[in-house]
Chain A
Amino acid sequence: MFLAVSLSLLLNELHSKKLAKVLQTIFIMPHFLSMTVVSIVVFAFLSVNNGLLNNILELLGYSRHNWYMERKFWPLFLVLVNAWKHVGYSAVVYLASISSISEEYYEAAIIDGANKLQQAWYITIPHLRTMMTILLILSVGGIFRGDFGLFYTVPQDNGVLYPVTDVIDTYIYRSMRVLNNVGMATAAGLYQSVVGFILVLTTNKIVNKISPEYAMF
């Protein structure tokens, strides 16, 4: 979220309309790729024999790693991949709400002698708060709902990596299709839904307490 907001602030500062448009298109691109495609892109970097990362390591004199067998790096990889895929999209969403802020605020601020950084901090970010809150509420509900595609395809459903890449969704899928344990899978799914539901209601309630106008319902 921090990355997305700062990216949208930077994009907003661009003077050239054309460049801004091109860059927006580029940043949003990964959002339209399927996880399968993303997993192949990741594979191009991490593949044992041919991967770019290993090639670079070898050039620098280190030994090749079998990334798909090493647990400790995966949390980092998954976070990076997720950021790569979604930051651009969130930035464009924020940018859309930035463009709806009235110019007058900025003009007044400039007269008062505020610099760009102060303008961003005191005008733009407060205006984005509603947007950020709504996205936060929705994502809290999704905490237990990992992105199935991300966790299933990108580590290639690799047994060695389960301890660091298995989320409830992949567990449910495996219980159902591979282990054939339908009862367990249903229970896990229901549990996930109930907890998610309660989390959304709670966050919404807390937000409601602090500042009612930001709550969703």
Chain B
Amino acid sequence: MISAMLIIASLFVVLPLLLVVIISFSSAESIALHGYTFLPSEFSLAAYKNLMKTGTQIKNSYIITIFYTITGTVLSLAVMSMFAYVLAQKRFPARKGLTFYAFFTMLFSGGLVPSYILNVRYLHLDDTIWIFILPSLVSAYYVIILRTFIQTTIPDTLFEAAIIDGANDFTIFCKIVLPLFKAGLATIGLFNVVNRWNDWFTGMLYIENPKLIPLQTMLQKIQRNIEFIKQNAEFADTAMGLELLRSMPTESTRMAITIIAVVPILFAYPFFQRYFIKGLTIGSIKG
């Protein structure tokens, strides 16, 4: 009875996604005739073939996105776990102050405009790959989760013993903390990968150079442009409008791009799932 209810509920989650998958495999004629349906009259691989043929921009975006997702996550985990290690040390006098310093950024921020001005005018990060990596390097929330994780899973006596044996902080961090820390790192790593992969906003705000446009931003741009042309019928009738419409990917191709943008992240999840629930519980312990 309960499982039946849950299976029905899960259908509500899956069906919308399935619809997109099916559209991506529908032929253009079928869409023109029946619109988007779960049962297209004709299946075709045309959309994906089209992508393989014409998708230099897509390949480019794919590579960019993969590159900054991986680099960003690795750097971010390295910096945040070291920060968390320091905050977890009872013998470190500025611990309370630094924790509050980090925590405060969670409660209060200048907002979009000051960070935009800082990134563009003073740090000159716009139109570089670094905009995807540096500003999002440290998240206070994750640092606090990681710190709590260290505090709850690794007893202080372990650190004390190591210090007596003559280990310095760096050795302790590498030899003791990191091996005991996998579930925490995996959870935060997953969050990091997902956030970076799905971030379309940074690309939209800071990137002009087409070689650096990430996948999600590109998807967003395609969708926006098509809607803009369609909603401005007068513009669509002009020669320029028609030309633009023709150069746009067909509807099934758009859905196909969506699918290839989603698949990597969905495959990443089961990989992390083992650690995920454990990591979540730890994160829920109050700071």
Using CB atoms and an 8 Å cutoff, list the residues of chain A in contact with chain B: 7, 10-11, 13-14, 16, 19, 23, 25-30, 32-37, 39-41, 43-45, 47, 49-52, 54-55, 68, 84, 88, 92-93, 95-97, 99-100, 130-131, 134, 141, 148-149, 153, 156-158, 169, 172-173, 176-177, 182, 185-186, 188-190, 192-194, 196-197, 200, 216-217
Contact = CB atoms under 8 A, between A and B. Distances in A.
Given A96-B277, A189-B112, 14 more contacts: A19-B3, A35-B198, A36-B220, A37-B219, A37-B261, A39-B223, A45-B16, A50-B35, A68-B231, A97-B281, A130-B286, A172-B113, A189-B111, A189-B113
Nearest to A81: B16
B219 A36 contact: yes
Nearest to A159: B231
Interface string B187-226: 0000000100111110001000000000011011001100
B31 interface: yes
Interface string B270-287: 100100011011001011
Nearest to A168: B111
Nearest to A48: B230
Given A36-B216, A200-B107, A156 B113 contact: no
Contacts of A23: 6-7, 10
Interface string B84-109: 00000000000000000001000111
Interface of B: 2-3, 5-7, 9-10, 12-14, 16-17, 19-20, 23, 31, 34-38, 103, 107-114, 116-117, 194, 197-201, 205, 216-217, 219-220, 223-224, 227, 231, 251, 254-255, 258, 261-262, 265-266, 269-270, 273, 277-278, 280-281, 284, 286-287
A190 B224 contact: no
Given A11-B6, A39-B223, A153-B220, A32 B284 contact: no
Given A52-B37, A176-B112, A193-B110, A14 B20 contact: no
Contacts of B200: 34-36, 149, 153
Given A50-B35, A51-B35, A43 B223 contact: yes
Contact of A44 (B36, B108, B227, B280): B36
Given A172-B113, A189-B114, A44 B216 contact: no
23 contacts: A23-B7, A25-B269, A27-B9, A27-B13, A33-B198, A34-B197, A36-B198, A36-B216, A36-B217, A39-B220, A43-B223, A44-B20, A55-B35, A55-B37, A84-B13, A96-B280, A96-B281, A97-B284, A99-B277, A149-B201, A157-B224, A197-B108, A217-B287
Nearest to A214: B286
Contact of B2 (A14, A25, A43, A95): A14
Nearest to A173: B112
Contacts of B36: 44-45, 47, 50-52, 55
Given A34-B200, A41-B19, A16 B3 contact: yes
B37 to A, nearest CB: 6
A85 to B, nearest CB: 10
A141 B19 contact: no
A33 B262 contact: yes
A51 B280 CA distance: 37
State the 6 A-B residue pairs at the shortest beta-carbon distance, nearest first: A189-B111, A34-B198, A50-B35, A96-B281, A186-B113, A36-B220
A7 B10 CA distance: 11
Main secondary structure of the interface of B (DSSP, over half): helix
A56 to B, nearest CB: 9
Contacts of B108: 193-194, 196-197
Nearest to B259: A37
Contacts of A130: 286
Contacts of B281: 96-97, 99-100
Contacts of B113: 172, 176, 182, 185-186, 189
A50 B31 contact: yes
A158 B261 CA distance: 24
A175 to B, nearest CB: 8
A165 to B, nearest CB: 14
Contacts of B277: 92, 95-96, 99
Given A84-B13, A92-B277, A216 B286 contact: yes
Given A27-B10, A41-B16, A50-B36, A131 B284 contact: yes
A92 B287 CA distance: 20
